[in-house]
Amino acid sequence: MKILVTGATGYIGKRLIPLLLNDGHKIVCPVRDKKRAENYYKDQKNIELIEADFLNGHSLQALPTDVDAAYYLIHSMSNSAKEFHVLEEKCAFNFKRYAETTSLKQVIYLSGITNDTKLSKHLLSRKNVENTLSSGNYALTTFKAGIIVGSGSSSFEIIRDLVEKLPAMIAPKWLNTKTQPLSIRDVLSFLHKALGKEELYNTSYDIFGPEVMTYKTMLLQFAEVRKLKRWILTVPVMTPKLSSYWLYFVTSTSYKLASSLVNSMGVEVIGNKSNINQILEVNPMTYKEAVELAFKKIQQNSIVSSWKDSYVSSGKLKNYVGEFINVPEYGCFKDYKKRKVKDRKKTLDKIWAIGGETGWYYGTFLWKIRGFIDQIYGGAGLRRGRRHPTELNAGDALDFWRVIYADKEKGKLLLYAEMILPGEAWLEFNIEDGILYQTATFRPVGLAGRLYWYAVVPFHWFIFNGMINKIAKV
């Protein structure tokens, strides 16, 4: 079959596509940033990447019409509570208009459970997208999931941050909200096995794990798996705004995303029972089993995808790889250093391990202060870390940077700053003819940007000088 998969660089898409390729299907992936996607799928056969943006209906003209099925995995196009539902509806409408010109027989959509009488804006948006996608020209199969538990998922990482950082918690009352968590492996099983099943055409199913539990219970069971003793006291006086700040400062989420999550977490996510488990022969695992499986993947450094690599994790929505791969020259300040390299491979290994748990090789305390300041002003800070300790691909999040270009064979790594700045910043490492070149570029915006640069020049001299010395020393 020829299958179109939206959200190919997202958390679900990056895990689903290999399953479809293993079945021998041909995959077409519309992506906003082709250069970013090529890094994920450069070694795969039977996959075609086409640059297209579902917010721009005209860009979809490049997509093929001879497709048999499609997966609609577009979610959270913006983490702004004011506009995300408008953008999601527009994406769905443009997809539907395109799909109705094709030979599509089935569209499979992953949504959220929407059975509560009072739904959050995000869940209302999911419901609206389902209505928008419905068509007489093709069959729509909708799966509605609640909390998804897996290595790198937003819910897993947020719970992990809370449990591992806080021995005791005074938490908001929404921790008593009931939900039915489902493992990422089971989500993929439902999506994978539903392909081509005519009995699922024009149907909608809630998919969920075997347990009904509160968020508080999820935190405590997570602590049990990690062999940690934790105490949680829930209080009714914490407002949504305070709850959002609580999540923002303790976990790796952005404030806007934390605010959206708080609004959703007040809604019970309990699924309606059906025979879908029997139809597709899926036996969902328990929450504890899902957490244990996630940590096995983490210990093996085999996290396929992480929500932190999505552009939403930075609170921004930009085509970073396409827009910022060419470092500007005019109107910029630069910190330029170079050192001789004795062992090219070992030096590159050190560069590719930078950030995260490894740190930035020099002035770690100053890096942490800069990360804390960034967090206070609503930035990502150093909380996101990195997905893998030694691998980097274009589009990956790296502390408060975004990887724009990463080619180890050519010896070049380019990072773009996602921290809060009065301007734009790049950090580049490049090895040529036995010389390591390290260049920090800052393009200021207005007087504030220029004053900022001159204020941090003394710190840059120590930090960047020390960093290149440590990297070049093998």
Q: In the prediction, which pLDDT does 143 show?
A: 96
CATH topology (fold) of 2-308: Rossmann fold (3.40.50)
3-class state of residue 338 by DSSP:
strand
Phi/psi for 274 (5° steps) reads -155, -175
Q: Residue 152 and residue 460: Cα distance in Å, rounded? A: 33
Residues β-bridged to residue 436: 339, 431
What are 27-55's pLDDT values in tens digits?
999 988 787 777 777 777 899 999 998 88
Whether the predicted model's global pTM rises above the 0.85 cut: no
Predicted local distance difference test score (pLDDT) of residue 223 = 93
Mean pLDDT of 399-428: 90
Give the end-to-end CA distance of the chain in Å, rounded to a whole number: 51
pLDDT in tens, 306-319: 655 555 544 454 55
pLDDT reading at 115 higher than 90: no
- The token pair at 462 is 């120590």
Q: Which helix (H) or strand (E) holds 18?
A: helix 13-22
Is the separation of the CB atoms in 212 and 175 below 8 Å? no
Residue carrying the six token digits 């506009």: 83
Q: So where are the chain's domains?
A: 2-308, 318-472
Comparing CA positions, the residue from 31, 33, 65, 69 lying closest to residue 48 is 31
Fold exhibited by the domain 318-472 = Alpha-D-Glucose-1,6-Bisphosphate; Chain A, domain 4 (3.30.530)
Query: By C-alpha distance, which of 87, 68, 66 is closest to 78?
Result: 87
Integer Cα distance of 317 and 226 in angstroms? 34
Show Cβ contacts of residue 141 under 8 Å, excluding neighbours closer than 6 positions: 106, 107, 108, 109, 194, 197, 200, 201, 202, 203, 204
For 228-246, the pLDDT digits (tens) are 999 988 887 766 677 777 7
Nearest CA to 403 among 376, 55, 395, 411?
395
